[in-house]
Structures are given as C-alpha cells and as structure tokens.
A and B are shown apart, each in its own frame.
Chain A
C-alpha cells in the first residue's frame, strides 16, 4: 500500500493513469475536466509523456484511437459538449474494437449549460450517444479513491474486451479533494498481437470499420453483440447497503450516492428500513443486483430528469413500485432534502 495523498479528483485520476502506463493524453480544455490535460502537460517532461492539446474533441478522440490502434495506452478527458463531439469516434472505436479510455466529467446540459455536477449524460454514455449498435463499458466512481482506482481498471477492462471504456465522473467529484492511495506503477501491456504497429515479425493487421455487404456486416455486428453479452454476463458491478431487511431501496450512482447514503442513515436512525444500491458499472447496468429483491419499493434519485430510472424499471419485478426524484442544472439535493423526500413518499 502506498502513502495517502490529499488530491483533487481530476488530478488523482490523471496521476493514476500515468502510473498505469498511459503515456498518451490528447485533450481539449473544457470545465470541469481541464485539470487532467493540465496535469499531463505539466508531468510530460519528467514522466516521458506525450501530451497534445488537440484542435477539437473530434480530433482528440481520433488521436486516442490512433494510439489505441498501436496497442499502447492513451486517454482523453472531456465534459458534456466535448463528449458529444467525441461520440462519432466512440462509435468508431467500438466498431474498431480499440481499447481506449475516456473520462466524461459530466456537467449540466443541454448545450453549453452549466459547469457544476450533473448526471445528465447517463443516456448518452450508456445507450450509445453515437450512431449504430454499440456499447461502451461505463464506470461511475463515488470517491476520489475510486476515481483513481478506476484508471488502471478502465485500461484493464478495455484491453480485456477490446472495447472503449468511459469513466463517468462529474463536476463535484472532479473538483473535490480527498485522501487517496495511488496505484503502484505498471507499464501497460506488451506488444498486442492485433495492433497496427508495423507488421514486424508477423502477418499484417488491418483494422477496418467499413462494411463489405450486408451479410458480412451483420456477421461483424453479431460478433460485437456477442462481446457485449459477455460483458453483461461478467462485468456488472455494484455495491449494496442494508438491502436485505429494507422496505425501500434507494438507487443512486456516482458521488451523489454519498448524499443518498447520508439520507439512508438518517432514515435508519428514525427507524425506517431503507437500503441502498449503488451501480458502479452504468453499462452493463447491474440488473443482477435487483434479482432477488422481492416486495420492495425502489427510490431512484439522480442529478437529471430521470435516466437511470428506466434501467431500474427494466431490472425490477414491479415497475410501479419505482419512484424517482432528481434535480437539474447543477443543483444537488442535500441529505436532509433527500430524507424529507423519502418521508413524503413512504411515510404516508
């Protein structure tokens, strides 16, 4: 175990990515993600990193694709509007099976919107965002420690499944400072057998994303779908707290789940049997977490107008027992506000 350091979320992720052997960062400044490109830029000489401030997020995402295609670790970080621009490349990298890592530091949209914390990109991150039938693994950290831990995990999952991985952070977590134990240094993978890094000592590799007739392209798509099913079967991650005896289970993700946790504790102190499920993978959505929960109410709360709640309704047995509460625009409920909402709904 390394020493604890007191670090800001974005900087902790960037440092952790560097320690995970990610030597390439291409990015475009956008609040609240800019500390990551700044961190890479600053560390570049001493760590031997390549940092380029790209002309657009469109370019940044495609540069990452280029690095990933050589089998090396590269990443970008952006926020809402920038991720929208990158979605074309997310579709592309998914089809090309490129193991890239992208951080979306969510901020409230639509459009330019605001720059504080939000979870309004849930649909965009988990349902595609770009064109075509593709999925990306989405990890939602809830603390600076988990944010940092997800840098090596994101690369490992990306390389295991040959698929882009998104780390879904937000304006709150990005700017927060907490104690964190940074990961040990690793150098990333050896030469990848599928990479386009010059066909030295092996037959040539082609990475193609352009179809050659509907039969070929359907077969290509079915291979992608089989991969997604494999990920659904094996990578659902979540945490649950006191769900067994609970009458009401709060469902919340990201750093906002800590507000929900505080509200849950207040409820328990008042004798209300409240539990919590915190999805960690937003895609694949942890449907397994809901499998054996009979005869319970679900209270989904998000910093959006109700996005993950749709996945919860698909996962539970009785969708009429799912309630939703959300705030928009960068407003975040306090624990008391959330507790009062719980009382209003369930203490009739």
Chain B
C-alpha cells in the first residue's frame, strides 16, 4: 500500500483557525507541500502579515516572523538581504498589500527584491470583519460599502498582478485561483516556479491567488465559490502577466 495523500510533515499539529470555505488553508497546504517536496524546511523564512493568516506561524515548522500591517515586503527585504541563501516568502492579503502596504510592495518590486510574494486576494478585509478593500468589486456590499462600492468615493478595483508585472524589477507575475482542483494544481505550479526563480536569485516573484472569503462575503462556501468563478475572476483574470524565465529560454 502506498501513501497517495498526506498532511505535509512541515505542518505542526496546531489546529488551523481559518473559516470553513476559506482559501488560506489550501494555499498554506500547497506552500507546505512545496517546501517539503523541495527540502526547503531549513531555508524557508515566512514573513506573515496582519490579516487572517497572522497565526500561520503556528502551522509551519519553518522560521517565521510576523510583520506589521502592510510592512511585510520591507521586513522581507531586510531578511532576504541579510540571508540571501534563504527562501523568503512574504504572504499578504489584499488589505495588507494593496492598501496599507502599497508603498512597500511597489518599492520592493522597483528594487527587484529577490523574495516571493504570495498575495491572497479575496476582495475584502477578512480579519477585521468584512470591510471594503481596494480590491472589492464594483457594487460589492461590505460593512464599509453597505450600499455597494461606488466609483465616486472609492474608484475601481486594483489589479496588482498586472501592475507588478509592469515594473522592471519584477521577474515573474501570475494570477491563479483555488476554485477547482485543476486551478489548485495550476496555483501549485505557479508558486513552485516563483520559489525556483527566487532560489536562482531572480528578481521579485509575485503570485496573486484569488481566494474565497465566505464569512466576509456573507455567503455559504459553495455559493462563495460560484460567485468567485462568475464575478471575481472577471475582474481579476487568471494568467501569467510576466515570466522573464520563459522569455530567456
């Protein structure tokens, strides 16, 4: 009998605090698998943000540091510059990366910092209770846009994977999602590629994961996946926006 599926050994026994139907658990697991499969346990350093993934330091048996809201790319810059041999992962949500930390992520990309950003975009502030994010869809109802997001006050959603791809310091930028097993496999391939580029010393590698937040969206998990597949992805199209590695080949 062979084992075809197991919990990554890089995980601790800690109980994951994510809500039912949340994408973080899947994304965490895929990253855990990649670290284990590539033997990066002693090289990986996570920089966790403030957001729903703030407790993820307890889930992984790898080094980690929790950053202030938005500042993960600056902390990751310090960690990676001081220990360039390590696999440094800045794991950030959309409120964190697109709002509070817009300056830090943009300038990390501008400098071509050699770490990987896993950007979890669920179009809402999850941890603080479902407020509007810069990534919230037009017309979407949140606790701070109770009548729907309106252009007059908030402008339009921000497409980070495309913006980051446009910066010369970015080496690789792709947007993926977690709504189907097929897309989860594509996500794993994308994150793997980003990690490999990082270990080759390439510039900023950026993977945006469009992810459901049933609690913040006030939907049942199944409905949340449907809405993600129908609406969210039309605002945030999947695909590779930059892959300098492919161009070099």
Say which residue of A63, A68, A69, A198 sits within 8 Å of B43 (CB atoms). Answer: A198
Is the beta-carbon distance between A205 and B63 smaller than 8 angstroms?
yes
A204 touches B63 (CB 8 A): yes
Given contacts A96-B65, A198-B63, A199-B61, contact A62 B55 (CB under 8 A): no
- CB contact under 8 A between A204 and B64, given known A66-B76, A69-B75: yes
Contacts of B85 in A (CB 8 A): 198
Taking A58-B103, A62-B104, A196-B45 as contacts, is the C-beta distance between A207 and B74 under 8 angstroms? no
| CB neighbors of A among B55-101 (8 A) | 55, 57-58, 60-68, 71, 74-83, 85-86
Q: Apart from A59-B71, A206-B57, what are 14 other A-B pairs with CB-CB below 8 Å? A: A26-B77, A56-B103, A62-B67, A63-B81, A67-B82, A69-B75, A96-B66, A198-B43, A198-B63, A204-B60, A204-B62, A205-B64, A208-B64, A209-B66
> Which of A47-55, A163-171, A256-264 contacts the other chain?
A47-55
* A68 CA / B74 CA spacing, docked (Å): 13
Name A54's contact: one of B63, B74, B82 (CB within 8 Å). B74
Indicate whether A24 reaches chain B with its CB closer than 8 angstroms: yes
Chain B residues lying within 8 Å of A208, measured Cβ to Cβ, are: 57, 64-66
Q: Does B191 interact with chain A (Cβ within 8 Å)? A: no
**Total number of B residues with any Cβ neighbor in A under 8 Å:** 38
Q: A201-B42, A212-B55 are in contact. Are A196 and B71 (CB under 8 A)?
A: no
A67 near B55 with CB under 8 A, answer no
What are 22 A-B contacts with C-beta separation under 8 Å? A26-B78, A50-B81, A50-B82, A54-B74, A55-B107, A59-B74, A62-B68, A62-B75, A63-B78, A66-B77, A66-B82, A70-B83, A196-B45, A197-B63, A197-B83, A199-B61, A201-B42, A206-B63, A208-B64, A209-B66, A210-B50, A210-B66
A residues near B86, Cβ cutoff 8 Å: 197-198
Of B61, B65, B104, which one neighbours A59 at CB under 8 angstroms? B104
A21 to nearest B CB, angstroms?
12
B82, A70: Cβ atoms under 8 Å?
A: yes
Chain A residues within 8 Å of B61, by CB: 199, 203-204
Tell me if B44 counts as interface (CB < 8 A to partner A).
yes
A332 part of interface (Cβ distance < 8 Å) = no
B-contacting residues, A295-312, CB 8 Å: none
A70 touches B79 (CB 8 A): yes
Bound together, the chains give a CA A200 to CA B39 distance in angstroms of: 11
**In this complex, what residue of A is CB-closest to B111?**
A52
Task: Give Cα A316–Cα B208 distance, bound, in whole angstroms.
Answer: 60
Does B135 interact with chain A (Cβ within 8 Å)? no
Q: Mark B158-186, 1 if CB is under 8 A from A, else 0.
A: 00000000000000000000000000000
Residues of chain A lying within 8 A (CB to CB) of residue B68: 62, 88-89, 92, 209
* A24–B78 CA distance with the chains assembled, in angstroms: 9
From residue B54, how far is it (CB to closest CB) to chain A in Å?
A: 5
Chain B, range 18-60, C-beta contacts under 8 Å to A: 41-45, 47, 50, 54-55, 57-58, 60
Tell me if B79 and A67 are in contact (CB < 8 A): yes
In this complex, the member of A54, A195, A209, A210 whose beta carbon has the largest number of chain B beta carbons within 10 angstroms is A210
A125 CB-CB contact with B under 8 Å: no
* Complex-state Cα separation, A69 to B107, whole angstroms: 21
**CB neighbours of A68 from chain B (8 A):** 78
Select from chain A the residue with minimum beta-carbon distance to B65.
A207
Contact A197 B57 (CB under 8 A): no
Set of chain B residues within 8 Å of A58, measured between Cβ atoms: 71, 74, 103-104
B50: chain A residues at CB < 8 Å are 210
Check A200/B42 contact, CB under 8 A, given A59-B107, A205-B63, A207-B66.
yes
Alpha-carbon distance A56/B105, docked complex (angstroms): 12
Task: Determine if B79 and A59 form an interchain contact, defined as CB atoms under 8 angstroms apart.
Answer: no
In the complex the two chains form, what is the Cα distance from A57 to B171 in whole Å?
Answer: 26
Complex contacts, B67 vs chain A, CB 8 Å: 62, 65, 92
Q: Which of A60, A65, A204, A212 has the most CB of B within 10 A?
A: A204
A52 near B81: Cβ-Cβ < 8 Å: yes
Whether A89 pairs with B83 at a CB distance below 8 angstroms is no
Residues in A whose Cβ lies below 8 Å from that of B75: 62-63, 65-66, 69
Would B103 and A55 count as touching, CB distance under 8 A? yes
- Chain A nearest Cβ from B132, distance in angstroms: 23
- Which residue of chain A has the shortest Cβ distance to B17 in the bound complex? A212
